[in-house]
Structure 1
Amino acid sequence: MSWDRSSISEQRGRTVVVTGANSGLGYEATAAFAGHGADVVMACRSLDRGRTAAEEIRESLADAPAWASAPDAGSLTVMELDLADLDSVASFADQFGERFDELHVLCNNAGVMAVPRGETEDGFERQFGVNHLGHFALTGHLLDDLRATDGETRVVTQSSGVHEQGEIEFDDLQGEESYDKWGAYAQSKLANLLFAYELDRRLAADDENVTSVGCHPGFADTNLQARGPKEAGSTLRLWMMKAANALLGQSATQGALPMLYAATEDGIDGGEYVGPGGLLNMRGAPEIQESSAASSDEAAADRLWAVSEDLTGVEYDLPDA
Structure 2
Amino acid sequence: MTIGWTKKDIRDQSGKVAIVTGGNSGIGYETSLALAENYATVILAVRNMNKGHEAADKIKSEFPNADVHVLKLDLNDLGSVKEFSEEFKMKFRSLSLLINNAGVMMPPKRETKDGFESQFGINYLGHFALTGLLLDLIVKTPDSRVISLGSLAAHNLKPEFGKFIGKKGKTSQMKNYGQSKLACVYFAKELQYRFRSRNIDSKSIACHPGIAQTYLFGKGSRSLKTRLTRASLKIIGQSAESAAYPILYAATESSIRGGEYIGPDGRKGIKGSPTELELLDQQFVDHVSNNLWILSEKLSGVTYKF
Q: Please state which band the TM-score falls in when normalised by the shorter chain.
A: over 0.9
What is the number of residues matched between the two proteins?
A: 303
Aligned counterparts of 2:154 and 2:13: Cα–Cα separation in 1: 31
Q: CA deviation at 1:293?
A: 5.8
1:118 corresponds to 2:110? yes
Query: Is the contact between residue 31 and residue 244 of structure 2 (CA under 8 Å) also seen in structure 1?
Result: yes
Give the match for residue 203 of structure 2: 211
Normalised TM-score (structure 1): 0.91
Give the match for residue 231 of structure 2: 243
Aligned counterparts of 1:200 and 1:252: Cα–Cα separation in 2: 27
Aligned counterparts of 2:256 and 2:280: Cα–Cα separation in 1: 19
1:155 corresponds to 2:143? no
The CA deviation string for residues 108-134 of structure 1, in whole angstroms up to 9 with x for no partner, is 000011122211111011000011100
Matched residue type, 2:231: A
1:96 corresponds to 2:98? no
Equivalences for residues 158-237 of structure 1 within 5 A: 158-174=149-165, 176-227=168-219, 230-231=220-221, 233-234=222-223, 236-237=224-225
Q: Which region of structure 1 is more displaced relative to structure 2, 181-190 or 108-117?
A: 108-117
The CA deviation string for residues 38-78 of structure 1, in whole angstroms up to 9 with x for no partner, is 0001000111110011111111234xxxxxxxxxx430000
Equivalences for residues 12-27 of structure 1 within 5 A: 12-27=14-29
Aligned counterparts of 1:241 and 1:220: Cα–Cα separation in 2: 12
Query: Is the contact between residue 18 and residue 108 of structure 1 (CA under 8 Å) also seen in structure 2?
Result: yes
Q: CA deviation at 1:186?
A: 0.6
Matched residue type, 1:84: N
The CA deviation string for residues 257-301 of structure 1, in whole angstroms up to 9 with x for no partner, is 000000000000001000111222111111111224674111110
Equivalences for residues 137-148 of structure 1 within 5 A: 137-148=129-140
Matched residue type, 2:251: A
The CA deviation string for residues 8-65 of structure 1, in whole angstroms up to 9 with x for no partner, is 0000111000000011100000000000000001000111110011111111234xxx
Aligned counterparts of 2:193 and 2:24: Cα–Cα separation in 1: 31
Aligned counterparts of 2:113 and 2:283: Cα–Cα separation in 1: 28
Aligned counterparts of 1:294 and 1:76: Cα–Cα separation in 2: 39
Q: CA deviation at 1:226?
A: 4.3
1:77 corresponds to 2:69? yes
Give the match for residue 269 of structure 1: 257
Query: Is the contact between residue 14 and residue 39 of structure 2 (CA under 8 Å) also seen in structure 1?
Result: yes
Aligned counterparts of 2:74 and 2:87: Cα–Cα separation in 1: 14
Q: Which region of structure 1 is more displaced relative to structure 2, 275-284 or 127-136?
A: 275-284
Gaps (5+ residues) in structure 1? 63-72
Give the match for residue 129 of structure 1: 121
Query: Is the contact between residue 192 and residue 204 of structure 2 (CA under 8 Å) also seen in structure 1?
Result: yes
Query: Is the contact between residue 22 and residue 44 of structure 2 (CA under 8 Å) also seen in structure 1?
Result: yes
Query: Is the contact between residue 131 and residue 192 of structure 1 (CA under 8 Å) also seen in structure 2?
Result: yes
Query: Is the contact between residue 123 and residue 184 of structure 2 (CA under 8 Å) also seen in structure 1?
Result: yes
Matched residue type, 1:85: D
Normalised TM-score (structure 2): 0.95
Give the match for residue 44 of structure 1: 46
Query: Is the contact between residue 212 and residue 234 of structure 2 (CA under 8 Å) also seen in structure 1?
Result: no
Gaps (5+ residues) in structure 2? none
Matched residue type, 1:206: R
Query: Is the contact between residue 60 and residue 66 of structure 2 (CA under 8 Å) also seen in structure 1?
Result: no
Aligned counterparts of 1:270 and 1:217: Cα–Cα separation in 2: 18
Matched residue type, 1:22: N
SS at match of 2:56: helix
Give the match for residue 70 of structure 1: none
Matched residue type, 2:34: A
Q: CA deviation at 1:165?
A: 4.3
Query: Is the contact between residue 160 and residue 216 of structure 1 (CA under 8 Å) also seen in structure 2?
Result: yes
Aligned counterparts of 2:27 and 2:132: Cα–Cα separation in 1: 23
Q: CA deviation at 1:184?
A: 0.2
RMSD between aligned residues: 1.4
Q: Which one of 264, 267, 287 corresponds to residue 275 of structure 2?
A: 287
